[in-house]
Amino acid sequence: MKLRHPFSRALYESQENGLVRVEGPDGRAGLFHQDGRWHSGELRDADPHLLGWVGGPQLGGGAASASPRPSAASTTAAAPAPPPTPARVPALTYQELLDTDTRPVPKVLRWQGREELPVLRVPIERYTARAFHDLEVEKLWRKVWQMACREEEIPEVGDHVVYEIAEDSLLVLRTAPGEIRAFHNVCLHRGRLLRDCDGRADELRCPFHGWTWALDGSLKRIPASEDFPHVDPERFRLPEAQVGTWGGFVFVNLDPDRAPLASHLGELPRHFERWPLEHRTKEAHVAKRLPCNWKVAQEAFMEAYHVGATHPQLLPGIGDTNSQYDVWGNFSRAITANMTPSPLLSFQPSEQEMLDSLLSRSLDAEPMLRVPDGMTARQTLAMGARVSLQGAVAGANELSDAELADSFYYTLFPNFHPWGAYNRIVYRFRPYRSDPDRCIMEVIYLAPFRGPRPKPAPVHWLGDDEDWTKAPELGFLARVFNQDTFNLGRVQRGLHAARHRYVTFARTQETKIRHFHGLLERQLGL
């Protein structure tokens, strides 16, 4: 693969030996490993994220592997000269961009939620200290509404999902055709986990000595029960958590006294009225343990500020620093326009270059999709999306360019991130057991479907040493997630090594993170 760095204009080209050759605009060149280490040559410094992008694992068949790898001999001779540098790209606000849409734009994209957010920095121990983790368990995870699974994962009576949060384990169970309940997944005899994994059961029988509960949580059978005259079945019902549903998701709350889910969601369902998530199916679900605190991971997906440094290849087609950030009650939203160039660039990309950047086209490959004469990249992308949604989404033709081209990333406190419109992404981040230095990140793709509801994708767990491209169901984004993940363990390491006491947030571009920490402080009573 061969790409020009949108900032330095250096040419990055993968070699057959796995190294990446980088040649700067001044003609100096160097060879690098894909993780950023220098190998040889006069040029000794290069962008590790672009090295990883150009030289890292490619996906079979998709856009990312559209070009054959050039031979080592051809690396520099054909490199085109960098384009001249016209004036800096003028920055349209997102609302001004909406005015150029070829379709009427829904009101939800015009809504803006502005609140005074006092948090501008937070102490580093929030990400590293076991004591802070324990406080989160006690006052957050055992008190807050959280997404446990999809309703479609447990369609039949007896179907269940094991939902783990820190050291707690819940069995989210369909107990009747129209009823879902959640029980603590622990045997009341000597404490074995009742169920080890998702599945279907007629009753809940502990594998250790065989104590058995009915699906409604009542104690049904104790082997040799005469030995337990002191056990009153009424007092040995499985303890229960609250359950609520929205958008095809099942939420749980471990605190039986919390107000119902609706009060936690607030206005969020109104935002999704036009994009009903219940009419979607789980097309992919990939989970991976990461070597960082859950908030470190989550916060990397709550802003577009990192795109310039972490995903530089996207800059010709992403309006990163022009993103719009809003907050409402327990949720926030970022909107990042695609197919519009980054205001950070010092040149104006062509419409074709904008589209190519999103499709990760190598400089020496044919375009995957051409922008027709007289059309913009944005219109081209939206037109393609309207066609692909035909038959699966009512009124697909009336969807605005914005809904089909842009990124709308919502966050419902504390850890649930459904994307708006017809982007399929949903993220969830959780602490891993009692370790503040590890977490679980999940990427779920929710897609509209035609005809009868398809079976939802099972969870695909990646090993600690497997990168996201080992989940080809994620497509092109697997390589983008690799770029994000490249930072996360190093952030956690840096936070432990830090001599300063606070992490500091941007006023606008880190609005969602500032909002999150305000809610976290309230929840924890800080």
SS3 78: coil
Using rule CB under 6 A, residue 190 touches ligand FES: yes
| Contacts for 129 with CB less than 8 Å, ≥ 6 apart | 436
**Chosen from Fe ion, ligand FES, none, partner binding at 90 (C-beta under 5 to 8 Å by type):** none
Contact 242, 252 (CB under 8 A): yes
Closer CB to ligand FES, 202 or 273, in the complex: 202
Task: For 389, list phi and psi in degrees, rounded to 5.
Answer: -90, -5
- H/E/C letters for each residue in 295-334? HHHHHCCCCCCCHHHHCHHHHHHECHHHCEEEEECCEEEE
Handedness of CA 286, 291, 296, 301 (dihedral sign): negative
Closer CB to Fe ion, 136 or 299, in the complex: 299
Nearest distance from residue 228's CB to ligand FES, in Å? 11
DSSP secondary-structure letter at 193? B
DSSP secondary-structure letter at 140? I
Using rule CB under 6 A, residue 209 touches ligand FES: yes
Tell me the residue number closest to Fe ion, measured at CB. Answer: 484
Q: Taking the CA of residue 393 as centre, how many other CA atoms within 13 Å lie in the half-sphere pointing to its CB?
A: 24
Residue of the chain from 88, 120, 203, 208 that contacts ligand FES (CB under 6 A): 208
Using rule CB under 6 A, residue 184 touches ligand FES: no
Contact 215, 204 (CB under 8 A): yes
DSSP secondary-structure letter at 338? B
Closer CB to ligand FES, 189 or 460, in the complex: 189
Closer CB to ligand FES, 221 or 501, in the complex: 221
Closer CB to ligand FES, 211 or 486, in the complex: 211
Run of H or E residues at 32: strand 29-32
Q: Which residues bind Fe ion (CB under 5 A)?
A: 484
Q: Which residue has the tokens 């006491």?
A: 501
Nearest distance from residue 207's CB to ligand FES, in Å? 8
**Chosen from ligand FES, Fe ion, none, partner binding at 142 (C-beta under 5 to 8 Å by type):** none
Using rule CB under 6 A, residue 192 touches ligand FES: yes
How far is 171 from 240, CA to CA, in rounded Å?
9
Residue of the chain from 39, 69, 143, 189 that contacts ligand FES (CB under 6 A): 189
How far is 307 from 49, CA to CA, in rounded Å?
10
How far is 1 from 101, CA to CA, in rounded Å?
34
State the first-to-last Cα distance of the chain, in angstroms, to the nearest integer.
50
Using rule CB under 6 A, residue 297 touches ligand FES: no
Among 98, 91, 100, 103, smallest CA distance to 385 is for 103
Nearest distance from residue 17's CB to ligand FES, in Å? 56
Nearest distance from residue 217's CB to ligand FES, in Å? 15
Nearest distance from residue 328's CB to ligand FES, in Å? 45
* The two three-digit tokens of residue 316, written as one number: 């010709």
Closer CB to ligand FES, 187 or 393, in the complex: 187
Nearest distance from residue 242's CB to ligand FES, in Å? 25
**Chosen from ligand FES, Fe ion, none, partner binding at 192 (C-beta under 5 to 8 Å by type):** ligand FES
Using rule CB under 6 A, residue 206 touches ligand FES: yes
Contact 157, 264 (CB under 8 A): no
Closer CB to ligand FES, 223 or 276, in the complex: 223
**Chosen from ligand FES, Fe ion, none, partner binding at 289 (C-beta under 5 to 8 Å by type):** none
Closer CB to ligand FES, 103 or 189, in the complex: 189
38 DSSP β-pair partners = 32
Q: How many residues bind to ligand FES according to rule CB under 6 A?
A: 10
**Chosen from Fe ion, ligand FES, none, partner binding at 484 (C-beta under 5 to 8 Å by type):** Fe ion
SS3 155: coil
Stretch that binds ligand FES, among 16-24, 52-60, 204-212, 248-256 (CB under 6 A): 204-212
Among 333, 302, 255, 256, smallest CA distance to 523 is for 255
Residues making contact with ligand FES (CB under 6 A): 187, 189-192, 206, 208-211
